[in-house]
Structure 1
C-alpha cells in the first residue's frame, strides 16, 4: 500500500495578501453598512476601527481598591478597577488583580503579561503569582463584571462569581448575543476591549517595560488572545492555551454554532471567527493544547498554527486536562516568555523530513534532545475526544542526534512528534495527516 502526506489546508484558494485583505474588508464593511444590514460585516479591520473610536488604545482612568484584601492571597498583589466601555448606555468598571515581583526596586522596570481567563473563570491571583515569581509584572482581568468572592447560585441555576454595580455584559453561550445586540454591546466586543484597555493601563505604569508586554489566555481566553493579537501589535509575545480558531470545524463548537440563527452564524463567521485574525498577528507565539481536548480538537488547533505567519512554536501535551489550573502549569509557557523577553534558551522545532516507502518516518532536530516520541492515531473520523486514541512510539536517534526516526504504523491516520530537552521541556511538531491511495 502506498502513502502520501497531506498537511492541514486552510483554504483551497491562495492566501490573500494583507493590504488587499484590508481593502476588501473595508469595502465590504462600507457596502454592508450602507445597505443597513443588521449583520454588517466588520471583520478585523472594522472591529479595530470601532475599538479605536471607543478609545481602547488610551489609558483608562483607574483606582486601586482594598475592598477584596481577604481574597488576594499574596502580599505583592492588589486589586484595581479601571473604566470600561459603556454597556447598554451605562458606565462600566472592570476589576483586575495586579501584581509585581517581590523586591522590585524603585525606578526598576520589568516585563509584564496580561492574563485572560476562560469560561467559568475570573481574575485569579494565583495565576498572577506564577508570573511574578518568575520576574514578570502581571495583570489579570475579570471579563464578566465579576469581583473576588465565593461563587453564588444564580436564578438560572448556575453558580456565578459575585458582581458589582458597574458590571458589563456576561458571556452567553457560544456567541448567542450576536445580531440580537449591536456589536458595541456584545460580550466578546467588551472582552476584547477590556483586555486592550488593561494593556493600555499597564503601559502607563512606570515599573512596566512597555516594549516587553506579553499576553496569555486560557480556553475562551485563548480565543480572545488569538483575536486581540490580530488587531493589536503591542504584544511582545502571545501564549494562547487550548483556545484556537476554526471553531466551526470542531465537534463541540460546530454543534453550538448550528443552534444559532443563520444570521447569527454568518455574523460570527464574518466578524469574530479567530481564523480571520490569526494571519494578521506579528508577535512570536506559543500555541498550547492537549491531544484530546473536548473543546479545541487537534484538527482546528493545527490549522490555527498553520494559519499563523509569525514566529511560532507548539506545545502539545498527551491527554492534557482542560482547566485554568492545568492551563497555567506547563513550564514551557514561562520558558517561552523568557526566550522572547530575556533572550533565554532557544525554543526547538522537530522538522518533518520524509516518509519513506517502508513507512520509515524521519524528522530533523535543531538542538540537543534527550528523548523523542511519535504520537499516532488511527481514527480521525470526527475528531471527537473519545473517538481517537494517541499511541506513543519511542523514536530512534541517528549518530549525529540531528535525525530522529520511527516506523509509522500502517493504520495511522495522523501523527505528530514531541522532542524533550535536558530540562524536560517539550517541543511539538504540527499534526500531519496520512491518506492512503
Structure 2
C-alpha cells in the first residue's frame, strides 16, 4: 500500500518485520476505539475537586478538579480541568454542557469556560498536556511551557512525532482523545448536567481532536471544531510536517489518526468554523472535511479570521448554534446552490431571514498558502420574499462561496465550490456538487 502526499510517494505501510496483514488488522478507527473502550474511558473516572489553584481561576462560578487519567508508561496520571456552572443555576436545575478542547500552546483557559457559563452552559475545560494552572516557564530549548506536576501525562511532540516510536497507549494523541472522552463520562455523572445535551468544541489542535473524538464517541449533542479539520496531508503546512516523519510513522498517522477517517463515523450536528486564509487549515482540506460529514452540518467561514484561542472562541455564531441544538434556538441559515448561468450569474436559495449577503471568490488556488492567494468580496443581492440570493461571479474566479448574516447578526455560509480546472490542476469535485 502506498500513500500520495502532495505529489510524493510515502513508502510502504510497514518498514519493519511486521507484515502488511498484521498492520491492517491492528489499525484504523475501529481498532483505536476498541482500545479506548478496553481502557475504560466510557466509565466515570475517579475525581476530586480542588481549591489549590483558586488564585488562577478568576471567576467565582468556576472551580478546579482532577480526574484519574490513563496510565502513561506504567505511571498513574491525573488530569486537571476547570469546571464552571452558570451563575443563576438553582438547586435541582439541569443545564446543557460543553467540553472545551484547547489547541497547541493552549491550556485550560478560565475565560473560555466563562464564555460558555455566561451563555447558560455548564463547561469543562480539559488540560491535554499534563498542565496545571500557573505561568509559563521557558525551558532550555527556549520553549515557554505551562507548568506540569508529578502526575502529568504526555505532552504533544510536534506533528505526531511519537507515533510508532511509542505504542498506541503511550502516544500523546491517544491520551488527549481519552481525556476528552473521560471528561464526557464525568459530566454525565453530575446531577446538574442534562446528559442528553452535552456538546464539544475545540480550537486548532483541539479542532483536529474534536473531529476524531466525535467519530469515537457518539454521545455528543453537537460539535464545533474551530479551524482544525481533516485531510491534513493536503495542506501546505501539515504536508511538510508529515513529510519529516519516517515512512512508517506517516503510514501510521494516515491509517489511524487522520481526522478524515473519523468524520464519516460521526452522528451529531456540527458547525465547522474557519477563516478564509488560515495558514494551518486551508480551505481545500477544510471543505473536504465538511463534505465528508454525513450529519446535519453548517459552516462559518470568516474572511481573514485570525488564528488563536481568543479569536477561536469569539464568534457569537458558535453559541447561537449550540442554542439551536440544545435550547430550540433559531435555525442556522444554509445557503444552497441552485444555478450558475452562462452569464456567470449565481443563484442560491435559503430558509430564514437574511440581513446581509456576500460573495467571496478567489482567482488562484495553486497552493492554498495563506499569502499566495486572496479572497475578493462582493455584495450579493437577496430577496427574503423569494428566499433567493444572487451574485455576479467574476470570469476569472476559480472557487467561491456565499456568506450570509441573519436578522440576529449570526453569520453562516455555503460550502466552497469550484468553477473548473485551474492551471491544469484538477480541482476537487464535490460528491454533492449539483443543484439542490
Query: Do they superpose with TM above 0.5?
Result: yes
Q: Pick one of 84, 87, 95 that aligns with 1:99.
A: 84
Q: Could you tell me which residue of structure 2 aligns to residue 383 of structure 1? A: 368
Pair 1:36–1:303, CA change in 2 (3 A): closer
Once the two structures are TM-superposed, the CA of residue 45 in structure 1 deviates from its matched residue by 0.5
Q: What does the per-residue CA deviation read over 1:237-262, in whole Å, with 9 as the maximum and x for residues that have no partner?
A: 00000000000000000000000000
Structure 1 CA distance for aligned equivalents of residues 312 and 177 of structure 2: 20
Any idea what SS the aligned residue of 2:354 has? coil
Q: Could you tell me which residue of structure 2 aligns to residue 42 of structure 1? A: 27
Structure 2 CA distance for aligned equivalents of residues 412 and 35 of structure 1: 45
Q: Could you tell me which residue of structure 1 aligns to residue 126 of structure 2? A: 141
Once the two structures are TM-superposed, the CA of residue 155 in structure 1 deviates from its matched residue by 2.1
Once the two structures are TM-superposed, the CA of residue 33 in structure 1 deviates from its matched residue by 8.1
Once the two structures are TM-superposed, the CA of residue 368 in structure 1 deviates from its matched residue by 1.2
421-430 vs 289-298, which moves further? 421-430
Once the two structures are TM-superposed, the CA of residue 404 in structure 1 deviates from its matched residue by 1.3
Pair 1:423 & 2:423 matched: no
Q: Pick one of 229, 234, 244 that aligns with 1:244.
A: 229
Structure 2 CA distance for aligned equivalents of residues 287 and 108 of structure 1: 30
Q: What does the per-residue CA deviation read over 1:117-167, in whole Å, with 9 as the maximum and x for residues that have no partner?
A: 000000110000000001100000000000000000012210000001100
Pair 1:342–1:233, CA change in 2 (3 A): same
User: Superposition RMSD on alpha carbons, in Å?
Assistant: 1.8
Q: Could you tell me which residue of structure 2 aligns to residue 185 of structure 1? A: 170
Any idea what SS the aligned residue of 2:149 has? coil
Structure 2 CA distance for aligned equivalents of residues 41 and 414 of structure 1: 40
Q: Pick one of 258, 261, 269 that aligns with 1:284.
A: 269
Which 4+ stretches in 1 moved above 6 angstroms?
32-36
Q: Could you tell me which residue of structure 2 aligns to residue 85 of structure 1? A: 70
Pair 1:131 & 2:108 matched: no
TM-score w.r.t. length of structure 2: 0.91
2:353 touches 2:384 (CA, 8 Å); kept in 1? no
Pair 1:228 & 2:228 matched: no
Pair 1:80–1:405, CA change in 2 (3 A): same
Q: Could you tell me which residue of structure 2 aligns to residue 339 of structure 1? A: 324
Once the two structures are TM-superposed, the CA of residue 402 in structure 1 deviates from its matched residue by 1.2
2:198 touches 2:221 (CA, 8 Å); kept in 1? yes
1:39 touches 1:267 (CA, 8 Å); kept in 2? no
Q: Could you tell me which residue of structure 2 aligns to residue 3 of structure 1? A: none
1:38 touches 1:179 (CA, 8 Å); kept in 2? no
Pair 1:33–1:65, CA change in 2 (3 A): farther
Aligned residues: 408
Structure 1 CA distance for aligned equivalents of residues 51 and 406 of structure 2: 44
Alignment map for 1:128-277 (pairs within 5 Å): 128-277=113-262
Pair 1:39–1:154, CA change in 2 (3 A): farther
Once the two structures are TM-superposed, the CA of residue 397 in structure 1 deviates from its matched residue by 2.4
Structure 2 CA distance for aligned equivalents of residues 39 and 175 of structure 1: 19
Q: What does the per-residue CA deviation read over 1:254-302, in whole Å, with 9 as the maximum and x for residues that have no partner?
A: 0000000000000000000000000110000000000000000000000
TM-score w.r.t. length of structure 1: 0.91
Q: What does the per-residue CA deviation read over 1:168-187, in whole Å, with 9 as the maximum and x for residues that have no partner?
A: 00000000000000000000
Once the two structures are TM-superposed, the CA of residue 406 in structure 1 deviates from its matched residue by 1.1
Once the two structures are TM-superposed, the CA of residue 400 in structure 1 deviates from its matched residue by 2.7
Alignment map for 1:365-380 (pairs within 5 Å): 365-380=350-365
Q: What does the per-residue CA deviation read over 1:37-59, in whole Å, with 9 as the maximum and x for residues that have no partner?
A: 57874211001100000000001
- Gap regions ≥5 residues in structure 2: 5-12, 423-436
Q: Could you tell me which residue of structure 2 aligns to residue 362 of structure 1? A: 347
Structure 1 CA distance for aligned equivalents of residues 118 and 281 of structure 2: 29
1:219 touches 1:242 (CA, 8 Å); kept in 2? yes
Pair 1:62–1:387, CA change in 2 (3 A): same
- Gap regions ≥5 residues in structure 1: 1-10, 12-27
1:116 touches 1:221 (CA, 8 Å); kept in 2? yes
Structure 2 CA distance for aligned equivalents of residues 34 and 204 of structure 1: 43
Higher relative contact order (CA closer than 8 Å, sequence separation 6+): 1
Pair 1:40–1:168, CA change in 2 (3 A): farther
Q: What does the per-residue CA deviation read over 1:339-368, in whole Å, with 9 as the maximum and x for residues that have no partner?
A: 000011111101101110011111112121
Q: Pick one of 386, 394, 397 that aligns with 2:379.
A: 394
Pair 1:201–1:314, CA change in 2 (3 A): same
236-245 vs 33-42, which moves further? 33-42
Q: Could you tell me which residue of structure 1 aligns to residue 309 of structure 2? A: 324
Structure 2 CA distance for aligned equivalents of residues 301 and 221 of structure 1: 15
